[in-house]
Amino acid sequence: MAQRVFVSGSSDGLGLATARALIDEGAEVVVHARSQARAAGLREALPDAADVLVADLASREQTFALAEQANALGRFDAVIHNAGVGFREPRRVPTPEGHAHVLAVNVLAPYILTALMHRPDRLVYLSSGMHSWGDPDLGDVDWLTRRWDGAQAYSDSKLLDTALCFALARRWPEVICNSVSPGWVATKMGGAGAPDDLALAHVTQVWLALSDAAAAMRTGRLLKHQEEIAAAPAARDEAFQESLLSTLTELTGVVLDGAERSVGEDAWRLSA
């Protein structure tokens, strides 16, 4: 039976390359786009995708709905949290819930989806080498008082993604949880002058999602090009991980280890 994989943010860039490679490997792949217009283009680009789901991850309401749509399709073997906005992100009007856009898309959305989707066998989170520049101070994650700095906001978000991955690897030993630094590559996010090899940027995600090799079955790592690399000390700090989970629960209204983690009436009540 084909492995079932969900890839968020798959309408272009690394997400599209990842989804295409998974399909080529024989996986049953459900992809995701931010809008109906982008979904139409995605259907043309990946006609063999099993389904295309639509949600703007800057919206908590739409992220909840995406989890519900995904769960209606059944449990996935692997989920790749690829969607994200980059270090050139300008300061935007806050999301409907009042969050910084980069925090909502890069951190809150994968947390919500992780908590509310049926638990897969494997989880993959997109990190970045810039995570090492992230500030572990959780006092102003929404940039309400700090002077805006897009590169710092992105770095902070990737530190939080990496710490979230490691927290899950510790809390959910039955799930293989890893994070990936794809390198600085020439996507819309990375820019035309990025020096790393674009052809390799999605390979580790595909390998972690599908491979039964012993090296792909280990958990709690940050990898680049299928090799483990050092993570920022804060990401490995269990006290920081627990503080992050508490902060994410407070910001989203979603408890990570809920008894059933359904996205029906009870989950909506959590967000009220």
Q: Which of 111, 125, 158, 224 does the annotation list as catalytic?
A: 158
Q: Tell me how far apart the alpha carbons of residues 261 and 267 are, in angstroms, rounded to a whole number.
A: 7
125 part of the active site: no
Continuous segment of H or E residues that includes residue 217:
none
111 part of the active site: no
E strands, 133-220, are: 176-180
What would the two tokens of residue 266 be? 């009870």
Angle (CA) 61-65-71 rounded to 5° is 150
Q: Which of 125, 154, 188, 224 does the annotation list as catalytic?
A: 154
Which are the catalytic amino acids? 154, 158
